[in-house]
Structures are given as structure tokens and as C-alpha cells.
Amino acid sequence: MSKQISGYEYPFGGYYNETVVIFADGTKANVCVQYASVHPFGRHADDCEQITKMGGRCTCGKLDDIDIPALLADAKVNGKFGEAPKPEPTDADYAEAARVEAEYQVHVKAVDDMMTLGGHTY
């Protein structure tokens, strides 16, 4: 029996060749479609070949019950790649930006006034 896919998340680093799959049991795995590899979240056993041997396959059971070819095919179609979309700025965001800009302009004017003391420009 293969683990059921619940959905996908954007990868932490915003990589365009990777996605994060979420299984129905809540576990997650990083899927790289460029190199056709699946790396489960969490720690492997200390003697697992995936961490002890270059190019080794997981021998500790973290990838058991995952149909990797089917997962890679599904991830290519349904995965979320790259950076997560950023939300549109709200009115509060624009108000904060205007407040910060006004505060900045006060400081700029204060520096300009200091630089022109006594009618001389320094």
C-alpha cells in the first residue's frame, strides 16, 4: 500500500526544481524533480545507507510505502515550485510605509539644516 498524498507546499528555499509533499498521515518529504529524488523530513537512522554512503538508498524505512515513480510524476504536475506568492499589501502596509517615509524626511531635513549652519554649505 502506498502512502496517500494530501497536498503540496512551497519549498523552504524557494527552489524551482523542488516541492514539499504532505502525506495523509502528516509526514512530509522534499521532492526534487530535476534529480528524481525524494528526501523525507526528519532524521534517518545512523546506519541508513542514504546518509552513510554516497548515492545510497534509504535502508531505515523512512521511504517505505512511498511509490517514488508515481510521486515524482504527481509532483511534476501538482507540486508547488519556487517562492510562495506574496500577499498583496494592505492599507495598513501603505500607511506604515508613508509614516516611515515621513520620519525619514524629517531626519533628512535635520541633516540638511546642520550642513548649512551660518549660511555656509559644508
What per-residue confidence (pLDDT) applies to 122?
Answer: 56
Residues of 47-83 as b/e, b for ≥16 C-beta within 10 angstroms?
A: ebebeeeeeeebbbebbeebeeeebbeebeeebbbee
What per-residue confidence (pLDDT) applies to 1?
Answer: 47
Question: Does residue 83 lie in a domain region?
Answer: no
Q: How far apart are the first and last CA of the chain?
A: 78
Integer Cα distance of 42 and 93 in angstroms: 37
- pTM for this entry: 0.64
- pLDDT for 78-114, tens place per residue? 999 989 888 899 999 999 999 999 999 999 888 888 7
Q: Do 70 and 107 fall into the same domain? A: no
Of residues 41 and 119, the one with the higher pLDDT is 41
Question: Does residue 111 lie in a domain region?
Answer: yes
What per-residue confidence (pLDDT) applies to 21?
Answer: 93
Q: Do 14 and 63 fall into the same domain? A: yes
Segments forming the whole domain that contains residue 35 = 5-78
Q: Do 34 and 52 fall into the same domain? A: yes
At 20, give phi and psi (nearest 5°): -115, 120
How many domains are contained in the chain? 2
Q: Which amino acid is at 20?
A: V
Cβ atoms of 34 and 16 within 8 Å: the answer is: no
Closest CA to 26 of 10, 42, 47: 42
At 30, give phi and psi (nearest 5°): -90, 130
